[in-house]
Chain A
Amino acid sequence: MKLPRSISLVLVLAVAACNSSTPRGGGAQTSTSTAPAPSTAPSPSGGAAGPPLSPNVPADMPPNPSQADAVTYAWQQFVALNWPALAGMRGVPDTSKMIGASGEVVWHTWKAPDEIFYADGRMPPSWNDYGGELPSQCAAAGAPSMGLVLTRTSKVPGNITNDAVELAKQAVGGTITDQHGNLARYEVRLNQMIFNAIVTSQFYNTQGQDAARQISFLPGVMEVKASWRQILPNEPPTVTSRYYTETAWIYTPQFGPNKPTCVMGKVGLVGLHITQKTQSRPQWTWATFEQIDNVPPTTPPYTGPLSFNDPTCPVAMCPPNMSTEKNGVPTGKPTQVTRVIPIGDEAAAANPMWQQALAAAAPNSPFRYYQLVDIQWPSNPSSQRPGGVPTPSLLANTTMETYVRQSSCINCHFTARTYSSKLSSDYSFMLAEAKPASASRTGGAR
Chain B
Amino acid sequence: MSILSFPRINFKGTFTTNPCTTNNDDVMPAIVNRDSDTFGADITSQMTDDQIQSYLREQVMMGYPDANPQKCFPFIRSGWNLYGDYTTTFDNAQVTSIVTGPGTALTSHAQDSLVGQPVVLLGSKSGDPMRRGTAMLCDLDPTGLVTTQLWIGGFQFGAATYGGSSQGPSIARVIFDHDTRAFQNWLNFFSTFDTQPYGGEQNFVGIGCMMQFAIPASAIPSDIELQSSALTTFLTAARAAAGIVIRFRIWEVEPQIIDANLYAQFSRNQGPQNPAVGYLVGTIGVWEQGEPETETAGRKLTCPYPRPAMKFQPPGNPAPAVQTWPPQQTPWTQGLPPALIGNAVARVQPTQPVISLDLVSSFPKFGFRNPNGPQKPDSQGFNAATNKMNFGAVELAVVSATGPSTTIGPVDYGLNNYSSYEDFGGIVDIPFDPSLAPLIASGTLILRGSSGSVNGGITLLQERGIRLVTDDRAVYWSLPNPSNPSPTRTIGLKVYANGGRTTSPTTVYLYEYFNVIQDMNKKNGQTQAAPCTDGLRPNQTVQQDVRGLLQFPATITIPAGAGYDTWYPVQVTVVQSGATLLAFQTQQDSIEYGTGNNPPVTGVPVWSYATYSSVRVYTNDDFSKLYANPPLKWDDVYNYVLRFYYLIYPAMSEFIPLNLEDSIVGRAAVIQQRLNTPDKPEFWTTYNMPVTRTMSPNKVKLVLDFIAQEQAKKQQQAT
Contact = CB atoms under 8 A, between A and B. Distances in A.
A167 B663 contact: yes
Contact of B718 (A161, A214, A381, A408): A161
B654 interface: yes
A112 interface: no
Interface string B74-85: 000000000101
A424 B670 CA distance: 11
A166 interface: yes
A169 B662 contact: yes
A382 B128 contact: no
24 contacts: A163-B668, A167-B666, A169-B666, A170-B660, A170-B664, A171-B657, A173-B663, A173-B666, A213-B129, A382-B166, A384-B87, A384-B122, A384-B123, A384-B167, A388-B163, A392-B272, A393-B83, A393-B273, A408-B271, A414-B655, A415-B670, A421-B669, A422-B128, A423-B130
Given A171-B662, A422-B127, A341 B87 contact: no
B660 A404 contact: yes
Contacts of B168: 382
Contacts of A282: 163-165
Contacts of A327: none
A394 B269 contact: yes
Given A166-B666, A411-B654, A216 B162 contact: no
Contacts of B376: none
B662 A341 contact: no
Given A161-B718, A174-B662, A406-B653, A384 B269 contact: no
Given A214-B128, A216-B164, A382-B166, A394 B270 contact: yes
A1 interface: yes
B269 A170 contact: no
A164 B53 CA distance: 27
Instruction: Sort chain B's interface into a size bin.
Output: 35 or more
Interface centre among A167, A392, A411 (most CB of B within 10 A): A167
A417 B161 CA distance: 20
Interface of A: 1, 3, 159, 161, 163-171, 173-174, 213-216, 280, 282-283, 340-342, 378, 381-389, 392-394, 403-408, 411-412, 414-415, 417, 421-424, 426
A411 B655 contact: yes
B665 interface: yes
Contacts of A404: 657, 660
A407 B654 contact: yes
Interface of B: 18, 53, 83, 85, 87, 89, 120, 122-123, 127-131, 134, 160-168, 268-273, 650-651, 653-657, 659-670, 714, 718
Contacts of A412: 654-655
Given A384-B89, A405-B53, A406-B650, A167 B127 contact: no
B717 to A, nearest CB: 9
Contacts of A385: 18, 85, 87, 89, 134
A411 B167 CA distance: 20
A60 B163 CA distance: 16
A423 B163 contact: no
Contacts of B718: 159, 161
A173 B128 contact: no
B662 A381 contact: no
Contacts of A168: 666
Nearest to A413: B655
B714 A161 contact: yes
A171 B656 contact: yes
B625 to A, nearest CB: 24
B340 to A, nearest CB: 36
A3 B83 contact: no
A421 B268 contact: no
B164 A166 contact: no
B269 A341 contact: yes
Nearest to B87: A385
A49 B18 CA distance: 44
B53 A216 contact: no
B269 A340 contact: yes
Contacts of A283: 163
Nearest to A401: B657
Contacts of B665: 166, 170
B270 A383 contact: no
A253 B665 CA distance: 21
Contacts of B670: 163-164, 167, 415, 417, 421
B270 A386 contact: no
Nearest to A3: B662
B667 A415 contact: yes
A205 B635 CA distance: 37
Nearest to B665: A170
Contacts of B272: 392-393
Given A1-B661, A171-B660, A384 B162 contact: yes
A170 B166 contact: no
A29 B161 CA distance: 37
B571 to A, nearest CB: 41
A222 to B, nearest CB: 16
A166 B666 CA distance: 4
B412 to A, nearest CB: 35
A171 B129 CA distance: 26
Interface centre among B122, B270, B662, B665 (most CB of A within 10 A): B662
A220 to B, nearest CB: 13
A326 to B, nearest CB: 15
Contacts of B161: 382
